[in-house]
Copies of this chain bind each other. A is one copy, B any other.
Amino acid sequence: MVLFLNVLGACFSPCGRNVYISMPYVQTMLNENIAEVLAERQKEISVSEFFERNKHVLGFDSPVKSLITAVKEGVDNALDACEEAEILPDLTVEIRKVERNEYLIAIQDNGPGIVKRNIPKVFGQLLYGSRFHAIRQSRGQQGIGISGVVMYSQLTTGRPARILSKTAKKMAANEVFLSIDTKHNRPEVVKEDVVLWDETEHGTRVEVYIKGRLLKGRQSVYEYLRRTAIVNPHARIIYEEEGKKYIFERATDKLPKKTVEIRPHPYGVELGTLLKMLKHSKNRQINAFLMNEFSRVSARVAEDICSAAEIDPKKKPKEISTDEAKKLVNAMKKVKIMAPPSDCLSPIGAHLIKKGLRNVLDEYSPEYYVPPITREPAVYSGNPFQVEVGMVYGGNLPKDQQVEILRFANRVPLLYQQGACAITHAIERVKWKQYGLEQRSGKGIPAGPAIILVHVASTRVPFTSEAKEAVADIPEIIEEIDKGLKECARHLRLHIKKQEKKKKVRDKFEIVQKIIPEIAKKSAEIVGKPVPPIDKTITKIMGVLWVDYESKYAKGAFDAKITVINYMEKKAKFSLYAEIEKEDIASISPEGTPDGRGIRWELKLEPTESFEISLKLRGERGDYSDMELYTDGVNQVHVVGAEPLPGDWTLEKTKIVEVN
């Protein structure tokens, strides 16, 4: 009560407002009772207690998923550590049943190791990490993942985690057994030691015991690691499951280009963030502040921002008021600023996207691989991000089911929470019917023989929860995915139309070829004359320039054939173009002329004359199962099986970013 009286007293004069004072105090005390009782219950909650109670938001909501989550967090950490130190990752993941529903999980890397004093906090304290404030793409970010695994281990089996880490070849390894004091979010070292560990020159090994269930199939640890290996071909991953050993070999010795840490981009920066930056800035003038603490702000851009905000560029950052900061935020939106540098991002790239798709396809042998799209980097809330989309279609893919969706974020496969993910939501809102896929009542996941792959890379992927299973519905991200999907979908539509047109012509052709000779024969019989030549008649009825592509694949090579037949009444003189990577060519006959994105042939065909090109091409399954063919110099309405030559034929395909 003393506190309360003091407050009332203190307010008598200085505030000068209409103050009501309650009398008598005894009555007041009685009335205040409920609030007081409630007040006593208010307590601080530690962040570990919070996540211990809400372990499902960390991905520990079922025994099957818990095992995968534990492996995922360990692998994310290991890959990040290796890449940060520019070491080619050598990972070992081991799972061994120790009793019913209890497993030992060990994850080992050849990363730079962790210095001894940091081991307890890295593994035994939530919200402790190195990547939270860095603006560049990495798998882990929050400092929750691996300590969450240690916490879950302790919660379900009561056993401490064992960490083994070594920072250099000639060093001994530190061995630490630790648990978490969840009441205070503090690591507790149970035992520590220095041991000989010569399996690796440097690296870290984490061992935890957790309750879980080990399954096979789509959502299994094996599958998770397989998909991880596909988009991280620079990593070698050995997986030992209950004595069985699987090795995902390294496919390249090149590390992905190291991502660079950047400053925040002005687009979408929140007012609160800007205020904090202004408060802590060491710059003396607002224009210097803008140039030095943001990316893509040149002297010119800084000037433009200040002038749009009507603020003196020489003003001190610390003197900027909230209202002025708001003007700055609005000005940043109006001024044209370059997209953020893309070197903070590490997209998967067209080559690996195709490879990723091929790997899940097995026996489906789809008829068409849509060229993968890598969008230009964009920004949400000041965070750069980049979207990639791949798609395959046809073949033996099931026709009457929903399309399969493969989701990746920062090169990590997402296996759970498909329904919660911005990737799925973006797919659901595209009008797929106009692109050739079925879609009930015009929305939702389309049905048809297709697989869609989407990758979202960002310096900060906005996951819907700490388990990092789904991307949140950030409007800017949905928009970019939407654009990527539609780009791919347009290719798909072209392909489907081409196929349909061909089928129609082929059907007509078959009928014509059967009926016309019959008619000719019958007419000849009736009038008692010999059967006339009918090739020209057929040509007249068909009136098309027929372009056909066929290919067979075996052991890294395509045996392919392009056939062109002139079914028009007149002679045709035109150019034929085929999109082929030059380095894929083993042999082509006739050779043609290298041109733009492929090869050009100049053709001259009399009516009913045909022309054949044989090709032997290097590539992987899918690369040349269909081919983009174009014609120029002929009325396009007559052409079946090729598109008009696009305007950007001679340009490099800038949209496709190749990694490695």
Contacts and interface: CB of A to CB of B under 8 A. Distances in A.
Interface of A: 3-4, 7-8, 11, 15, 17-23, 27-28, 31-32, 34-36, 38-39, 41-47, 49-50, 52-54, 56-57, 61-62, 81, 84-85, 112-118, 121-122, 125, 127-134, 142-143, 154-159, 167-174, 182, 192-196, 202, 211, 270-273, 275-276, 322, 325-326, 400-402, 417-421, 424-425, 440-441, 444, 447, 460, 462-466, 470, 472-475
Given A115-B36, A271-B156, A464-B417, A50 B127 contact: yes
A326 B233 CA distance: 42
Given A39-B115, A473-B61, A22 B196 contact: no
A130 B41 contact: yes
Nearest to A473: B61
Given A53-B132, A171-B28, A194 B275 contact: no
A179 to B, nearest CB: 9
A441 B121 CA distance: 49
Contacts of A326: 157-158
12 contacts: A7-B174, A8-B194, A41-B131, A43-B128, A45-B127, A54-B142, A62-B473, A155-B270, A156-B272, A402-B441, A420-B464, A464-B465
Given A31-B202, A53-B460, A419-B419, 9 more contacts: A8-B172, A19-B194, A31-B169, A32-B115, A41-B131, A43-B129, A44-B121, A61-B474, A440-B440
Contacts of A116: 3-4, 7
B420 A194 contact: no
Contact of A3 (B117, B182, B325): B117
Nearest to A170: B22
A547 to B, nearest CB: 37
A20 B172 contact: yes
A276 B46 CA distance: 15
B45 A143 contact: yes
A11 B57 CA distance: 40
Contacts of A114: 35, 38-39
Given A20-B172, A56-B474, A167 B112 contact: no
Determine how many copies of this chain the complex contains.
2
Contacts of A193: 11, 15, 17
Candidate in A3, A31, A47, A114 with the most chain B CB atoms within 10 angstroms: A31
Contacts of A19: 172, 194-196
A194 B155 contact: no
Contact of A112 (B38, B130, B173): B38
Given A43-B129, A115-B32, A128-B42, A56 B171 contact: no
Contacts of A424: 419
Contacts of A400: 441
A447 B444 CA distance: 13
A201 to B, nearest CB: 9
- The listed residue with most B CB atoms (<10 A of its CB), out of A27, A156, A417, A472, is A472
A15 B194 contact: yes
Contact of A401 (B56, B61, B271, B441): B441
A211 B121 CA distance: 37
Contacts of A50: 127, 132, 142
Nearest to A23: B170
A156 B35 contact: no
Contact of A172 (B21, B155, B211, B421): B21
Contacts of A23: 170
Nearest to A464: B465
A575 B215 CA distance: 56
Contact of A155 (B117, B130, B158, B273): B273
A419 B222 CA distance: 26
A269 B400 CA distance: 44
A478 to B, nearest CB: 9
Query: Nearest 8 pairs between A and B by C-beta?
Result: A419-B419, A31-B168, A420-B420, A155-B272, A41-B130, A35-B167, A20-B172, A34-B112
A17 B21 CA distance: 73
Contacts of A418: 419
Contacts of A44: 121, 125, 127-128
A118 B194 contact: no
Contacts of A202: 31, 35
A1 to B, nearest CB: 10
Given A113-B35, A132-B43, A424-B419, A170 B57 contact: no
A18 B195 CA distance: 6
A79 to B, nearest CB: 14
Contact of A122 (B42, B131, B460): B42
Nearest to A133: B43
Given A45-B132, A56-B464, A322-B158, A22 B474 contact: no
Nearest to A41: B130
A115 to B, nearest CB: 4
B129 A38 contact: no
A273 B53 CA distance: 10
Contacts of A466: 57, 465
Given A17-B193, A44-B125, A156-B270, A34 B275 contact: no
Counting chain B CB atoms within 10 Å of each CB, which of A49, A465, A475 scores highest? A465
A130 B52 contact: no
Nearest to A466: B57
B272 A42 contact: no
A142 B45 contact: yes
Nearest to A167: B35
